[in-house]
Structure 1
Amino acid sequence: MSVASVLSSVSALPLPQAAALLAAAGVPVLPCVPGAKNPLLKPDEENPEAQPGGFHAATTDARQVTAWWRRWPSANIGVPTGAVSGVEVVDVDRKPGGDGVAAFERARRAGLVPGWLAVVRSASGGAHFYFPADTDRPQRSWQAAKAHVDFRGDGGYIIAPPSAVTGTGSYEFVAGADRAPAPVDADRLRDFLDPRPDPAPHRVRGPIRSEDAARLAAWVGMRDEGERNRGLFWASCRLAEAGLSLPEMVDALAPAGEQVGLPQREIETTIRSAYRATHVQPASVVGQGDAPRQPTKLTGQVLS
């Protein structure tokens, strides 16, 4: 059964039946708070592999899905995006505070939006455009806040029909495939919607202390979904400006990146990119005056 067919089929069903049908069609699902978007499941902190939480708990196992919705019959249905489900979603907002339709249409006219698998009306009146994921090219989630368009790929999830958000509305299937569905190039789409100026060479601001690195790591750990990678990049630039070596930067920030759900490979790639972008010699940093100073070394206990 195609994604469009299964989304069309579940739109008029009770939530437990809809969840079971999605799982039977090979779409992993997870229970979310009734009338809201937050996952219901919390990880087992002592053994996260035995009981993963959030979107990591999604499954197609019929018994588990039945048990979840027997326990929470009003639970909304979450679907992880990216390689795990085979779908990626462009979320176009329509809210009093901003409308992403015009920006999305400009991207379509620019040839950056290929054919989609399905369209779902979101609870707020916007739209979720489902695209097939390219398993050979993982794409992480992001937000283009000024354009009011989000992308949900690896590390993200969406709420599926017939879920509803209290005081807002329900998720409803609108249309099936448009043209020949194809993966969207998320990086090109983001650059079009939220163009960023070429980074200027960073100015060295002086040596950094271990407690500064700890505060930066804590700040990264509080980033919301869609801003996690950008926050990690900014914090990495700050450490690189201060002359920390690449291994020191990884030691200081990788645990915070893992805390917000970024994959290890993505964390390391982001930190390396920030390290290269600073154009700073790592051997020393320049503080006040002209005399070079050696950067303060981070200890392995900074984030413990």
Structure 2
Amino acid sequence: MKHVQRSLPAEVVRVFGPDGPHTVAEAALALAAAGLPVFPCVAGAKRPLTEHGFLDATTDPERLAAWWRVTPRANIGMPTGQASGLDVVDVDVHGSQTGFPAIHAARRAWLVDGFAWMVRTPSGGLHAYYPHLAGTEQRSWSSPAAHVDFRGDGGYVVVPPSVVQRDGEAVAYALSAVTQDRPRPIDAEALHAFVDPGYRAARRAPAVGIPVPQRRTDPTAIANWLRTVPEGGRNYALFWAARQMRDAQFDHASTLGALGPAAQAAGLTPAEIAATIRSTFRRPPAPTTPSGPTRRAEPPQAVTP
């Protein structure tokens, strides 16, 4: 996907709000017309319907119309980070476990002000949207202990008016607040360090990440890292991991055997795994420089399990 800089389109607030389009298909086209690339997700769920997930996001109205013609009730996924010009802080709610205490503390520390708008999620949680700072990269991360996630480069979110099934009921993503001030980019690294002070040490652990380029050819290290990737970044993480093995001259069968179980443990389906690895071997090897892989070959940020 092309990395671009965008101003925040006011049209997004209308699409997300109660006076927006009546169908998800119309909303997908309206968001694309406003300059936001989108892609279809499973109706009533958050899993991508396309072969490459958020990497397939587009603003092409004909392609979008074709997707939603096949699955009219498909939810809308939007890539975060440079691809859309938007970063999202995701406050999770899982029963009695909630990220609101952590995010309230971060607000008192002035770490999450500057949002553009907020969306109530079907779980009772929150998506806070921020403008992405042009020319920078902020990788997605997850803090399970704090129940706070960040969706930036390498991630995606499901957007209004999509619905998710919860306890047999269809619950919609809904716009809940719009700022009256000028939105500002968020410092995702500072927020991560605040809500999860120990993440830096955990990220360096060999069982979690790939700390040095030399280990990118070690299938065990790559598979161990892949198991830790949270929802929203798993398809891209598998794509990156498979690319490392392909570039190290592992064949398709070896790559599938090494990464398949780890990707399934991370939450991907066998069909998604097979499609992602197959697509990796259809593409030419990543370009390199004398000092190592280019920026595009860098991995999604490792996270704590």
TM-score, with length taken from structure 1: 0.67
- 1:74 corresponds in structure 2 to 73
C-alpha spacing 1:20/1:94, structure 2 compared with 1 (3 Å)? same
- Structure 2: gaps spanning 5 or more residues: 1-8, 207-214, 238-246, 264-275, 281-292
Instruction: String of CA shifts for 1:187-229, please: whole Å, max 9, x gaps.
Output: 00000000017759999xxxxxx9x943222223344336979
- 1:284 corresponds in structure 2 to none
The CA distance in 1 between the partners of 2:195 and 2:45, in whole Å, is: 28
- 1:21 corresponds in structure 2 to 30
Q: Identity of aligned pairs, percent?
A: 41
C-alpha spacing 1:70/1:182, structure 2 compared with 1 (3 Å)? same
Q: Aligned ranges for residues 35-74 of structure 1 at < 5 Å?
A: 35-42=44-51, 53-74=52-73
- 1:32 corresponds in structure 2 to 41
- The one-letter code matched in structure 1 to 2:184 is A
The CA distance in 1 between the partners of 2:46 and 2:77, in whole Å, is: 8
- The one-letter code matched in structure 2 to 1:29 is V
Structure number with larger C-alpha Rg: 1
* Count of aligned pairs: 235
The CA distance in 2 between the partners of 1:24 and 1:78, in whole Å, is: 15
- 2:128 corresponds in structure 1 to 129
- 2:229 corresponds in structure 1 to 224
The SS at the match of 1:179 is coil
- 1:290 corresponds in structure 2 to none
The SS at the match of 1:21 is helix
Instruction: String of CA shifts for 1:67-117, please: whole Å, max 9, x gaps.
Output: 111111010000110111010000111220511111101101101112111
- 1:186 corresponds in structure 2 to 188
Report if the CA contact (8 A) 1:31-1:75 is conserved.
Answer: yes
- 2:142 corresponds in structure 1 to 143
C-alpha spacing 1:111/1:163, structure 2 compared with 1 (3 Å)? same
C-alpha spacing 1:18/1:226, structure 2 compared with 1 (3 Å)? closer
The CA distance in 2 between the partners of 1:32 and 1:118, in whole Å, is: 22
C-alpha spacing 1:57/1:126, structure 2 compared with 1 (3 Å)? same
| Cα offset, 1:136, TM superposition | 1.5
Report if the CA contact (8 A) 2:86-2:132 is conserved.
Answer: yes
TM-score, with length taken from structure 2: 0.67
The CA distance in 2 between the partners of 1:202 and 1:94, in whole Å, is: 28
- The one-letter code matched in structure 1 to 2:55 is H
Report if the CA contact (8 A) 1:4-1:177 is conserved.
Answer: no
C-alpha spacing 1:269/1:58, structure 2 compared with 1 (3 Å)? closer
Report if the CA contact (8 A) 1:116-1:178 is conserved.
Answer: no
Aligned CA-pair RMSD: 3.7
